[in-house]
Chain A
Amino acid sequence: EAGVAQSPRYKIIEKRQSVAFWCNPISGHATLYWYQQILGQGPKLLIQFQNNGVVDDSQLPKDRFSAERLKGVDSTLKIQPAKLEDSAVYLCASSFTRLASHEQFFGPGTRLTVL
């Protein structure tokens, strides 16, 4: 079974530029999550999708971050414009459903550096 795929693995941009990350979840997984992990901290949930609908985006900075999951499979997370404090690893995870007993599987992450 293929795992969660993410690209790119690394990205370096200057502040005020825009950037986009892509995630392909495990086949058949209805629920998809984007997390932000700042160095030395635990992951923080940004947004959760159930199929192609947003379940929770309460911690997504909507003035600069946006995310979509068209057709209920792949997802993209965009930052525009980026700030220095956005430097972090962006992790995508997926689970079969939203049930607590269904494990979340994490992708390798995208390491973003904002200069």
Chain B
Amino acid sequence: QKEVEQNSGPLSVPEGAIASLNCTYSDRGSQSFFWYRQYSGKSPELIMSIYSNGDKEDGRFTAQLNKASQYVSLLIRDSQPSDSATYLCAVNNAGNMLTFGGGTRLMVKP
């Protein structure tokens, strides 16, 4: 059973702080990793993808991947109340089939 694990939260951070979201996965053969944002009552929206070890930055978002430790993280700098959502980590197995973690609920307080 291929698994993706996330802390369910809620993770509460003050506005302007850095939010750090973490994810571990069990399948060592996984090659592609994604972070989706899901607002309450809405469908998931892709915000970051990462394919190789190291950091990938896009605006206020940075994804970090460590395949040796089977660990992927998402940093959100200068967190805003509009960032309050559930963040889903997803791992791509063969054939573009995603396995999702349970999600971490982020709350950014003004």
Chain B proximity of A21: nearest CB distance (Å): 14
Q: Contacts A100-B31, A107-B43 known; A40 to B102 CB distance under 8 Å?
A: yes
User: When chains A and B are docked, how far (Å) is the Cα of A104 from the Cα of B97?
Assistant: 10
Residue of A nearest to B8 (CB): A40
Note all chain B residues with C-beta closer than 8 A to A41: 102-103
Determine the interface band of chain A, counting residues with CB < 8 A from chain B: 20 to 34
Chain B 38-55, CB within 8 Å of chain A: the 1/0 string? 000011111001010000
- Per-residue B-contact encoding for A44-85, CB less than 8 Å = 1, 0 else: 110010000001100000000000000000000000000000
Contacts known (A48-B95, A107-B43, A109-B43); A43 close to B32, Cβ less than 8 A: no
Q: Do A43 and B100 have beta carbons less than 8 Å apart?
A: yes
Pairwise interchain contact A100-B43, C-beta atoms closer than 8 A: no
B64 → chain A closest CB, angstroms:
19
Closest to A105 in B: B46
| Contact of B106 with A by CB under 8 A | no
CB nearest neighbor in B for A107:
B43
Q: Are B96 and A102 closer than 8 Å at their CB atoms?
A: yes
B-side contacts of A55, CB under 8 Å: 95, 97
Does A98 reach chain B (CB closer than 8 Å)? yes
Interface assignment of A103: CB less than 8 Å from any CB of chain B: yes
- Asked if B45 and A42 make an inter-chain contact with CB atoms under 8 angstroms apart, the answer reads no
Residues of A within 8 A of B32 (CB): 100-101
Report yes or no: A98 in contact with B96, Cβ–Cβ below 8 A. yes
Q: Is the CB of A106 within 8 A of B45?
A: yes
Binding site for B on A (CB under 8 A): 31, 33, 40-45, 48, 55-56, 91, 95, 97-104, 106-109
For the complex with contacts A42-B102, A43-B88, A48-B96, 8 further pairs of A-B residues with Cβ separation under 8 Å are A44-B100, A45-B99, A55-B95, A91-B44, A100-B31, A100-B51, A104-B98, A107-B43
